[in-house]
Amino acid sequence: MSQQRTVHISSSPPSRPISGSPTASPRAAAGARSPTRPPTVGQVNPHLVCDVRASLPFLPGYQFNFNDSHAFDYSNTVPVFKEERPGIGGVLLPGQDEKRVQTSAHQLQQLVSDPNAESVPAWIAFDRKVLRFYAYFQEAVQERREEQFRIRKVNILFYLEDDTVHVIEPRGQNSGIPQGTLIRRHRMPRPGTDPHKAQYYLFSDLSVGKEVTFYARTFKIVGCDAFTRDFLTSLAIPVAPNSDYPNDPYESHRREVLARMRPTRPVPPRPSLKKFLENDRKVLRFYSVWDDTTSAFGDARKLVLHYFLADDTLEIHEHIAPNSGRDGNTAFLKRGKVPKRIKVGSSQAVVPRSEDFYTDRDLMIGAVLNVYGRPFLLCDCDEFTKEYYRDRYGLHDFTSIPYDAIYLEHAAMPDVPLAPLLGPLGGQVGSAPAPAAATAYVPPEYNGWGSEEDSLGSCLALTPKPPKKDVKKDHYYGQTVLRFAAVLNTARQVDRERRFVVTYHLSDDTVHVFEPHQRNSGIVGGKWLERCRVKVPGSSRSLNTHDLYLGAELVLAGFPFVIIGADEFALRYMDANPHQFPNHMPRGHTMAAFVPSDMERGRVRFADPDPEAVRDAAHAGNVPSVPGGGAGSEVEGEGMARFDSKAALGASV
């Protein structure tokens, strides 16, 4: 049976014994005589040396030889200065009789004395051992009626390895006081000592119920943690029980004021702020699976979904297995609100509603989330999420879907998609069905980013190519531009007075909208819609010439418009090309076909008609005349809707 080894703690490495011999010369002994200092244990008495020398003959072998003591020595071939070396004859030098700087290691050597103990440095014996004391100090407050003093609570940390002290004040909410580290970690000198012979605080100076002074500030210790109490008790140092902090009058006053505080006038509720204050740092966690096996080199991927209750935002991180060949960045989707359905086309200008985004009601085990066209199956959640749904919605069934088993089955049958293997939502894994017949590739729905042709190229090829232009159409209609006057079809009087210029490019069927500046209207004009293709609502086709005529209703960027007029060039072009504009009502006389470059554009003033009257008259077959427009025009018809494109656009046509 092995014997337990005892560790002896030392604060400094062992030094060489003092050199010397029992023989010395009388002159050396007389020179080192100090009659005012009594001899100590282990030193040679110079008076005794003189008496012995006088009684011995002056022959070889009967002489005492005292070697001169030296403070400069070598330790492991390194020159060192040993301050503790005595003077000649072993007599201490002036100042060496003062008490040495005491450390915790010295005290532990006295408390735990074992001659068979093994010497171990203090920085190894007390590595990462810290004593924690709870204390407070009273701070005077000047020129305040509410309080005369303040009780500030602190934590005192004592590091046993080097006798350093660290004082920290816990941060309080809305305290208005710079809190945190009050005294940085260092050896704390005791007050009232000589700076050149200063002594430092040791662990025995700190105990429950004592008062310590750090730099003229007195701290009252009221308690300690369990480790500190056990450590001091094992050394037979009595520790008083923990006590409470004294009452702070100002904190009691503030609690009473806050309890009586009530709103004195009606304030509109702010549910977002209330929701943030109640649910801050509360996050729901779901474990999900994304089946990406239908794409090239795709596989089933594990992801972790975080839902922040404070602002109803989502973030997704991917679980990347070691040696998977994927990048180490786990961020899959940055934090933000995730829409349930992606808006197609330019309808993103419409302000989305709150019910258009995913909330905590939509998240549950077995639910499938459509995150920007990618289906995520929620398979499991953590304990906090289960507790939240149990308390808020009364749910108790949180049977997880074993997606690890699904992964193993999918690895055995990589040609079978992951979705048929999921089975019912209760977590049972279904059997793999027979492979379905190959079907035509259906590209995903357009998400509104960039042009549709450009986005479709990334779905058809690994290296997308820019969409090709219709060279023949661009050659014939490259410079042909039709301008129409339009107004908003709305009941708001402010929007009914706004005027827009809708420009249609025949070369690529694109549209851009410009709003002329109107003085004293309160609306800043300028470019309203960038040149782009516009989807027709309820259809997959883009806006073309069949949709352009006087009185036509258009939906541009989610806003309804009514065409109320056109410039002279657009009217003559539509009259001459009825096959391109089948819904346009030509004017009374017949015009021969013409080349667009041979037309001259008319310049008449912008009109202010009623959009409903223009639309009704256009459906009846009569194109209404625009009041104030058409005077002095080259073409005189049975009333044509015209406007001055130069005045509207603010530039030469």
Query: Model confidence over 239-252: pLDDT tens digits?
Result: 999 999 998 888 88
pLDDT value at position 352?
63
Tell me, what's the pLDDT at 604? 34
The pLDDT of residue 135: 96
d(Cα 224, Cα 239) in Å, to the nearest integer?
Answer: 9
> Please, what sign has the CA dihedral across residues 630, 631, 636, 639?
positive
- Cα distance between residue 233 and residue 327, in whole Å: 54
- Give the closest residue to 372 by CA, choosing from 447, 461, 292: 447
Burial bucket for residue 244 (CB in 10 Å: 0-12, 13-18, 19+) = exposed
CB 447 within 8 A of CB 455: yes
pTM attached to this predicted model: 0.35
Tell me what pLDDT residue 492 has. 85
pLDDT at 138: 92
- Domain-by-domain residue ranges, the chain? 122-257, 278-342+355-409, 471-580
**What residues in the chain have per-residue pLDDT under 50?**
1-5, 13-42, 346-349, 408, 411-414, 416, 418-436, 589-608, 618-619, 621-653
What separation in angstroms does the CA of 604 have from each of 213, 488, 597, 653? 93, 22, 20, 12
Between CA 355 and CA 314 the distance in angstroms is 15
What pLDDT was estimated at residue 515?
A: 94
For residues 518-549, one letter each, b for 16 or more C-beta atoms within 10 angstroms of the residue's C-beta and e for the rest, the string is: eeeeeeeeeebbeebbbbeeeeeebbebebbb
Distance separating alpha carbons of residues 569 and 646, to the nearest angstrom: 13
DSSP 75-123: ETTEEEE-TT---GGGPPPTTTTSPPPP-HHHHHHHHS--TTPEEEEHH
Q: DSSP per residue over 409-457, as a string? A: HHHH-TTS-SGGGG-STTSPPPPP-PPPPP----PPPP-SSS-HHHHHH
Nearest to 574 by CA among 546, 551, 553: 546
Nearest-CA neighbor of 156 among 236, 211, 238? Answer: 211
Q: Which one, of 18, 215, 203, 250, lies nearest residue 105 by Cα?
A: 203
CATH architecture of the domain with range 122-257: Roll (2.30)
Q: What is the DSSP letter of 569?
A: H
Question: Domain 278-342+355-409 adopts which CATH fold?
Answer: PH-domain like (2.30.29)
Q: β-pairing, 553-556 with 526-532?
A: unpaired
DSSP state of 501: E
- The CATH T-level fold of domain 471-580 is PH-domain like (2.30.29)
Positive/negative CA dihedral, 177, 178, 180, 186: negative
**Which amino acid makes up residue 636?**
E
What residues have CB less than 8 Å from 479, skipping those under 6 apart? 596, 597
